[in-house]
Structure 1
Amino acid sequence: MQDASTHIILDTRRVLKDGTFPVKLRVTHQRKQKYYPTGVSLALEDFERLNSNRPGRELKDIGLELQDIERKAVRVIEKLPSFSFEEFERRLQRSGSPSEIFSAFDTAITRLRKAGRAATADNYESARNSLRRFASGKAFTPRKGKTKAEIATLLHEEEKNTTPLPFSRVTPDFLENYEEWMLQEGRSGTTVGIYLRPLRALFNEAIASGEVSQELYPFGKRKYQIPSGANVKKALALKDIQRIFDYVPATESEARSRDLWLFSYLCSGINVKDIARLTYRQLDKETIIFVRSKTRRTTRQKQKQITVPLLPEAMAIIGRWGNKPVTPDTYIFPVLVSALSPEQELARVKQATKTVNKYMKRIATALGIEKDVTTYTARHSFSTVLKRSGVSTAFISESLGHSSEKTTQHYLDSFETDAKRQVVSKLTAFPK
């Protein structure tokens, strides 16, 4: 037995902004103590109620979560040949059995959140929860319309009733059955791909670390291949983009959403998150320079800067909606404010995207544009309009910030039907 002890404590040395205190795991070894975050914070009176006979449902669930954290720490300590904080922390971060998929997901989610990659962490959580429902034989329970508390209760019940999923159980047949289950539940092949890519990444990590044998890898040729998203035409024709330019907005909200959509189109298809993060420091009289948030942490190479020549129309949009006063560190557009957590930033970006999409749908309907016009459409329209104008794929790839032209090819939309008809009509353009 190791001479190290664990205890869940309320760290009253530092009060948080909401008046609560962080709950921490305290580990003591040879009179030395170290504290580890649990992700939970409570008021003093709630922490005192936590271990009472009737703590209430919400506190009871929190208590179970904290007990699970402490149990994991105890298991790690018991398996150590000799205790050291360094080895304890290393094994604790792996959070459970290295050959178990849900533990691997939990570890990755924690790592991503610590790195500030809230959107990717959310994607891993969705993938984990979907696989958990499938592995336990549960039907998909729609989350739409439910409160955050109701969703949290659903997830807690699912986690509580889930049996472990070893890497060895995930075979090509397992994945084929999962895909079929997802489609029967009304999910698309695109969603299947989005959920299985994190699982593939976890397999690669586990194999690279020696925790899983290469022979167990279920992906690839003659095994299971993750479905690709359908190559749906997302770009608008230039004539429709002109109609959006010429549209007279009915409200200020319509005007702002239309202008943010046009700013994306005019500025290399920049997405809403990167628009939100732009500061005046990145702006000069002729260009905006930025690095895509999507690639900032995912590439080991030198970050690729995207330099966008600013058209007069883009400068006019900044003039209409830009924050004042103009200082180097001020965000250009009023989407974000300083000192936001990654989760708060993600929520604001999602809300801004949702608002733009809502008003662009109204504008498209008013103009008789039948396509689904979203912020994503602006990026695809930027690349496709340039393609149709004879611009090289290399230039478009650089403008989009892609690592290769192959990626860009997936973005480039097909020519309109009437353009194709004009081309194939030459097959019967016999001399008179």
Structure 2
Amino acid sequence: MATIKLTFDKRSSNTTKDNKFMLVLRISHNRKTRYISFNLHLKENQFDPLTGNITGIMNAVRHTKRVRKIYSEVDLWLAEHEGEIRKWEIKKLKSEIERIFFNKLPSRSILNHGAIYLNRLRLEERFSTASSYEDALKALIKFRKNLKGQDDTVLIKTLYKKEDKKLKVLDSFTDLDMEIKAMDYGFLKDFKAYMSNRYKSKNTPAIHLRSLQAIMNDAGKTYQDLRDHKPMSSIKKQSHENAPAPISLEDINAIRKLKLASNSPIWHTRNYLLFMFNNMGMNHFDMAIIKRFQFEDNRIKYFRKKTHYEGDYFSVLQNEESLKIISYYLNGQNAEDYLFPIIPANTTPEKLHKVNNGKVKIFNRYAKRIAALAGIDKKITTYTLRDTWTNIGLDMGIDIRKISSGLGHSSVQVTEKHYGKSVSEKILDEINAKITAS
């Protein structure tokens, strides 16, 4: 059971030169002790711990009433909430007593809670999400620098350092940190305007705002004093869908027919490109981290990395072309070795997504050369194969619900939102052709 006592803190750091001690409320809980100061320094003979009387100072009666009142109210509160408090750590108990009875709000800064949230994501090995959320915090810090008249164009590599396996805010950014409660509607609207002016992509502000909202929502669920602080709810964070840019089946066939030097970088890129297309437009990251044991009975079995928390599991029967591609790379790997030589074997889980991002740039560079060699006047990237697989399926009249399932979308509505324009164009073209022909 938690207990309290009125006493002096006689540690040298809280003792004045004239031997006055700080009057404190001592909290004892689960064999641990914490102090909350009354902001009063007294000599030992100026306070009676049995009666709570304070004497020998200005406004002694008023101070006595205040100290007694707080002691009485905290003691009653501890008794009334005994069952709940028993499960708390003493840090939380002290924080709640300070908040309720001393009107002292603890610091709830965005960078500090960001560190807590990012730590959690990293423990779950959601390193890509953690990186994206830190990018949002970096954008916020650049905005803060801009408001202070500082150079906001300097690259920020990271906001945190590791201490005891946890993230801590770097000292160079503590002055730019801010309380979450200070982030009101007006501040966030200005932040959105700042990002809209700074970033070329129209989607970047929305992505950063949603990331920031996730951190703030988590803080609201964690701390009772932030539960009703929801300034983000009135700010639009709508993304602009990038229009699909598929190539045709004829283009795919032209790529297949290219004469490329075996084992050259462009030859490997062509293999990866066709493998991704043959596997329902597989994401490059999903392909890069496929391990040998995931290829079994002529099937590739995997969880889609982007949505694996939603249970998006796939088991894809490989066609003849993909089996031939896979055979190029089977060289006696162990079950846990990567199937394709894309990601270095010693890459840590924390660095996987960063390494893959670098490999994607290489893929896109060689894909551009492949397009030129095949006489394709469209840009080919890792996303093109997904759009191409979908577009060819829609052209063939395959039910959009089946297409949606193959893409791993959470609903048909997601597929329609992204590819709806393509579907509408095909329908309208058919209608217009029939009407105008008559």
Q: Identify whether the pair has TM-score above 0.5, normalized to the shorter chain.
A: yes
Helix, strand or coil for the counterpart of 1:412?
helix
Give the aligned partner of residue 435 of structure 2.
427
Q: Please tell me the residue identity of whatever aligns with 1:129.
A: K
What do you get for the CA RMSD once the two structures are aligned? Answer: 3.7
Give the aligned partner of residue 321 of structure 2.
313
Deviation (angstroms), 1:329: 3.0
Q: Please tell me the residue identity of whatever aligns with 1:398.
A: S
Helix, strand or coil for the counterpart of 1:372?
coil
Give the aligned partner of residue 264 of structure 1.
276
CA contact (8 A) 1:140 1:185 kept: no
Unaligned runs of 5+ in 1: 4-28, 31-81
1:354 aligns with 2:361: yes
Helix, strand or coil for the counterpart of 2:231?
coil
Instruction: Mark the CA change 1:187 to 1:87 in structure 2 (over 3 Å): closer, same or farther.
Output: farther
CA contact (8 A) 2:136 2:208 kept: yes
Q: Please tell me the residue identity of whatever aligns with 2:297.
A: K
User: How far apart in 2 are the matches of 1:119 and 1:323?
Assistant: 29
User: How far apart in 2 are the matches of 1:341 and 1:91?
Assistant: 39
User: How far apart in 2 are the matches of 1:224 and 1:374?
Assistant: 33
CA contact (8 A) 1:397 1:408 kept: yes
Helix, strand or coil for the counterpart of 2:232?
coil
1:159 aligns with 2:154: no
Instruction: Mark the CA change 1:89 to 1:336 in structure 2 (over 3 Å): closer, same or farther.
Output: farther
Helix, strand or coil for the counterpart of 1:289?
strand
TM-score, with structure 2 as normaliser: 0.67
- One of 126, 139, 155 as aligned partner of 1:130: 139
Give the aligned partner of residue 416 of structure 2.
409
1:110 aligns with 2:119: yes
Give the aligned partner of residue 249 of structure 2.
238
Listed as ranges, the matches of 1:33-432 within 5 Å are: 99-137=108-146, 138=150, 140-141=152-153, 143=155, 159-162=173-176, 164-211=177-224, 213=226, 215-220=228-233, 223-249=234-260, 252-296=264-308, 298-299=309-310, 303-320=311-328, 322-336=329-343, 338=345, 340-412=347-419, 414-415=421-422, 421=429, 423-430=431-438
Seq. identity, %: 25
User: How far apart in 2 are the matches of 1:327 and 1:228?
Assistant: 42
User: How far apart in 2 are the matches of 1:397 and 1:418?
Assistant: 18
Deviation (angstroms), 1:169: 3.1
Deviation (angstroms), 1:157: 8.2
Deviation (angstroms), 1:263: 0.8
CA contact (8 A) 1:279 1:329 kept: yes
User: How far apart in 2 are the matches of 1:126 and 1:379?
Assistant: 26
Q: Please tell me the residue identity of whatever aligns with 1:227.
A: Q
User: How far apart in 2 are the matches of 1:367 and 1:196?
Assistant: 41
CA contact (8 A) 2:298 2:323 kept: no
Deviation (angstroms), 1:142: 6.0
CA contact (8 A) 2:207 2:239 kept: no
CA contact (8 A) 2:390 2:403 kept: yes
User: How far apart in 2 are the matches of 1:176 and 1:239?
Assistant: 47
Instruction: Mark the CA change 1:346 to 1:122 in structure 2 (over 3 Å): closer, same or farther.
Output: same
Deviation (angstroms), 1:262: 1.4
Deviation (angstroms), 1:253: 0.6
User: How far apart in 1 are the matches of 2:113 and 2:411?
Assistant: 30
Unaligned runs of 5+ in 2: 1-8, 12-29, 32-84, 96-104, 162-168
TM-score, with structure 1 as normaliser: 0.68
Per-residue Cα deviation, 1:249-291 (whole angstroms, up to 9, x for no partner): 3571101011111111110222122112212322233321111
CA contact (8 A) 2:192 2:209 kept: no
Deviation (angstroms), 1:189: 1.8
